[in-house]
Amino acid sequence: MYQKKEVRSGENFFKSAQIEWIFMLCGVYGILFFAFSMDRLSWNPWITCAIGALTEFVLWRVYQMEERKPFWILSAAIPALLGVILWFSEELQVQLRFMVNNFLNTSGYAVDVGGAMTWLAVALALVVFWLEGVARIHAPLLLLTAVLVPVAPIAGVYPKLICIFFLLVFQLGCWGLRSAGRARKHSGTPKRPAGNPGRQVAFTVLLGLPVLFLAAWLVVGLGSEPLYTVSYQAEGAVRRAVQQNLGNANDPNTGVISRGNLYPVGSNQLRITSDSKPEETLYLRGFLGGDYQDGVWQTNRDEEIFDEVAQEVHINQKVVDIASLLETMYVVTNQEVQRIDPSNLRIADLAKTGVLYKPYYSRENVAVSFREDYTYQALYFPFSKMDINWEDESTRNGAYSAVYLNFREAYSREAAQVYTQIPSENFPNLVRHCQKNDLQTLDEITAFILYTLQNDTTYTRTPGFSPTNQDPVEYFLFSSKKGYCQHYASAAVAMYRMFGIPARYATGYVAFPDDFHSDGQSYSAIVTDEAAHAWVEIFLDDYGWTPVEVTPSGEGISGGYPGLSPDTLQEILASQDWDLSVLEETTSNRFTGYATARTASWFGLIPINGYTIALAVVLLLLLAFVFYWLYRHIRLAHLQRMDSRQLFEKLMQALHFCGRLRDYEGGEIDFQQQFIAALPEFKPKELDGILDTVNRAAFGGTRVAHSQTKAVRNFYFRVVKRLYAQLPIYKKFFFRFVKFFF
């Protein structure tokens, strides 16, 4: 328990109750400003911090009173009052729930949580004072504050400078106070009792926390890229080894946007065989996303659309497979118009996943079996050979041309309603960015999307980890600026929908023309999970669902949909007059008070500049001072435990250091005479008693009384203080603070 008289009688800086109160207040402020670092929380930190300080001060002053009864009453009244307020205040409950959800899940716009933060400030003041000031239990808060900074970025909280400063001061202060308490406990005793090994280990672990805390902050901030490169390489090696042993590969058949790194293992997934070498990139889609929420694309809503279309165009779904109708109508109509034969594709599922990966502008080859040993066969047109003019009479020569035309118009209307929906609360910055640029044509919209996605971002399979409480698309575009195909495609789908263009999120595999090799009769390509990909598909009246490539492929801005020529894209980019203020604002604000994944996403650190280097220097000096104080206190405590012989040896070392009696060790016949001559302020009789005690301790075989050892210790301190006073200035610091300590 806390001993009041011990605090009041202390003269050392770290023994005063006022300093203890300041350190405890730093702990409260550190946690409060940690909450202040959380996005979408609006509150006045000055009022809240003032209330926290007032609560801590009242608790401290009442605890210093001779009568403890008021403190116990106050300690019971505060939590009772907090409980009553929370029970009856629905608004406070809502604010606290929002704060928890904001830490764990994606939230929308900023919410005022001033009441909750005030309530939390009082509760924190009570908890911190009880743990640190009364119970003297340091471990819980030390561990909590040590893990907040490195762990919090996983949930999207990047502690600001002031938060890091308060937490570090709190940690260092607590260690200093604990060490001081331990030293006071053992000071003055002739022999230090044996310590508990478990406690010593625990204390050693806790002692290392601020070192790790500051070291992690500096190391990651100064060299984040090399550090993360090494860590990602190690992570990738482990992940690949595990996946290979389990027989798993990178599965693209999902709508979940990854919040981590991507590590393909290179395992074979598909074999594609064609009777002619493909001239264009093959996009083999396996998953199609519909609605989006919190980083997950749900399964597409075509079944819902088919029901509406069937009723509108009077199609009997028991007779006509509408999904097959949508899939084949463009190929069949194009073949009727073009009068050319499509290519034959054979897609074998080597991994035997059972997923059909189908190319665009194709239909099932009905001349062969649908499945043959996990193999799908299709008739395929490249985009360059898709040339349908729905207004041409020749388009309606086929038996089903009129049905196709009516179905296309009905499906197009329904798709424009379903696949343009997007939850704007997930993308506040992206919504503002699109609203500031009112574009009309598809080419301009596509160029704008490509510029937004590729101008200030970097493609990488190891972008780090995105926070769990932030939307991964918004985080990718406006915070980390690093990602891979899943992030680019998801952002593009959202932007197309915001401009009213029906769009879907698609995943599967891509195969490039150069991947195909001839065996003399046909061309084939082996597709591995390295080729797993995500892209956008938009609905075009003359082509149906068409893939759009938005992921960067090299230098400059590239991509688009088939039919958008590179020259047209570059012309639009060269003449663009878009409002890019949202991108510029978010880019310039990325490092205001905390860092994002571009510098150090895992620890949430700050950029390296003059201000932060100065702060690091201050923190290092503070850390060095605390550790020196601990070292000095240990040495002083060691002096208190020395016996008479050890104290006399230490005294002779001090004399020799100052150039006195260098030829003497203390046992010489004329030692007493020479000592008095060197230090005449000491009396011969006093020196006789000291030497007698030292000789009996060394050779007498009897135990020296504690009072006599104390007299030798007092004599030692008087002598070294006298020697210190006679030293030149340049030697005084080393003598007192490094060598002999007093």
pLDDT confidence of residue 2: 38
pLDDT tens-place string over residues 632-666: 777 777 788 888 888 888 888 888 888 888 888 88
Whether pLDDT at 53 is above 90: no
Please identify which residue in the block is written with the tokens 């915070």: 479
Whether pLDDT at 224 is above 60: no
Residue 458, C-beta contacts closer than 8 angstroms, at least 6 positions apart: 481, 482
Q: Whole-angstrom Cα distance, residue 714 to residue 724?
A: 15
pLDDT confidence of residue 178: 62
pLDDT confidence of residue 715: 87
Q: Whole-angstrom Cα distance, residue 358 to residue 363?
A: 9
pLDDT confidence of residue 724: 84
**pLDDT level of residue 602 (50, 70, 90 thresholds):** very low
**Three state DSSP letters for 552-593:** CCCCCCCCECCCCCHHHHHHHHHCCCCCCHHHHHHHHCCCCC
User: Which token pair is 221?
Assistant: 């901030």
Phi, psi for residue 290 in degrees, rounded to 5: -110, -100
Whether pLDDT at 601 is above 60: no
Q: Whole-angstrom Cα distance, residue 514 to residue 33?
A: 56
**pLDDT level of residue 604 (50, 70, 90 thresholds):** very low
**pLDDT level of residue 442 (50, 70, 90 thresholds):** very high
Residue 72, C-beta contacts closer than 8 angstroms, at least 6 positions apart: none
Whether pLDDT at 239 is above 50: yes
State whether residue 33 is helix, strand or coil.
helix
pLDDT tens-place string over residues 491-513: 999 999 999 999 999 999 999 99
> What percent of the chain stands above pLDDT 70?
75
Q: What is the bridge-based pairing of β-strands 362-364 and 375-380?
A: antiparallel
State whether residue 527 is helix, strand or coil.
strand
pLDDT confidence of residue 425: 84
pLDDT confidence of residue 8: 39
pLDDT confidence of residue 727: 85
Helical pair 428-435 and 581-588, crossing angle rounded to 10 deg: 140
**Angle formed at CA 365 by CA 364 and CA 368, multiple of 5 degrees:** 125
**pLDDT level of residue 543 (50, 70, 90 thresholds):** confident
Q: Whole-angstrom Cα distance, residue 55 to residue 25?
A: 10
Q: Whole-angstrom Cα distance, residue 103 to residue 155?
A: 6
Of the segments 154-158, 626-630, 685-689, which one has the largest average pLDDT value?
685-689
**pLDDT level of residue 610 (50, 70, 90 thresholds):** low
pLDDT confidence of residue 506: 94
- Nearest Cα neighbor of 546 from 562, 566, 569 is 562
Instruction: Say which DSSP state 638 is in.
Output: H
With b for 16 or more beta-carbon neighbours within 10 A and e for fewer, the 343-380 pattern comes to: bbbbbbbebeeebbbbbbbbbbbeeeeeeeebbbbbbb
Average of per-residue pLDDT values in the chain? 77
State whether residue 512 is helix, strand or coil.
coil
Phi, psi for residue 545 in degrees, rounded to 5: -75, 125
Contact 509, 356 (CB under 8 A): no
Q: Whole-angstrom Cα distance, residue 122 to residue 38?
A: 19
DSSP output for 95-117: HHHHHHHHHHS---S-EE-HHHH
Residue 575, C-beta contacts closer than 8 angstroms, at least 6 positions apart: none
Burial of 461 (0-12, 13-18, 19+ CB in 10 A): middle
pLDDT tens-place string over residues 149-207: 666 665 556 677 677 778 877 877 766 666 555 544 544 444 444 444 444 444 444 45
pLDDT, mean of residues 598-619: 50
Q: What is the bridge-based pairing of β-strands 362-364 and 532-540?
A: unpaired
pLDDT tens-place string over residues 172-182: 776 666 655 55
Whether pLDDT at 624 is above 90: no
pLDDT confidence of residue 246: 59
pLDDT confidence of residue 234: 64
Contact 166, 615 (CB under 8 A): no
> What percent of the chain stands above pLDDT 90?
14
Contact 648, 712 (CB under 8 A): yes
**Angle formed at CA 684 by CA 679 and CA 687, multiple of 5 degrees:** 80
Strand partners, 483: 459
pLDDT, mean of residues 462-481: 82
Of the segments 61-65, 73-77, 270-274, 683-687, which one has the largest average pLDDT value?
270-274
**pLDDT level of residue 213 (50, 70, 90 thresholds):** low
pLDDT confidence of residue 614: 64
State whether residue 378 is helix, strand or coil.
strand
pLDDT confidence of residue 134: 82
pLDDT, mean of residues 479-489: 91
273: left (phi over 0), alpha (psi -120 to 50) or beta: beta
Whether pLDDT at 273 is above 60: yes
Q: Whole-angstrom Cα distance, residue 651 to residue 694?
A: 12
pLDDT, mean of residues 214-233: 55
Whether pLDDT at 534 is above 90: yes
Higher pLDDT pick, 522 / 158 = 522
User: Which token pair is 59?
Assistant: 């608790």
